């Protein structure tokens, strides 16, 4: 079994955009009550497996690394 590697594409003070090696792009946002956050949740907050390709999610670095 291979892993679907998610890399950080963009980070703002409200959300982080992640792109998987399968081509899926998702945004994870901080809680609205928190507002400005330095640690948005990782893509695994939605589950251990990628809902697009079914492979286990692995967190990589930034997309241009």
Handedness of CA 51, 52, 54, 55 (dihedral sign): negative
pLDDT tier at 15, thresholds 50, 70, 90: confident
pLDDT in tens, 18-35: 999 999 999 888 776 655
Contacts of 12 (CB under 8 A, 6+ apart): none
pLDDT of residue 35: 55
Task: Map out the domains of the chain as residue ranges.
Answer: 3-62
Q: Tokens standing for 25?
A: 């792009």
């Amino acid at each position: 079994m291979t892993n679907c590697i998610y890399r950080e594409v963009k980070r703002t003070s409200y959300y982080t955009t992640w792109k998987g090696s399968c081509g899926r792009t998702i945004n994870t946002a901080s809680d609205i009550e928190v507002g400005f956050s330095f640690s948005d949740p990782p893509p695994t907050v939605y589950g251990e497996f990628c809902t697009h390709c079914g492979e286990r999610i692995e967190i990589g670095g930034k997309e241009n690394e």
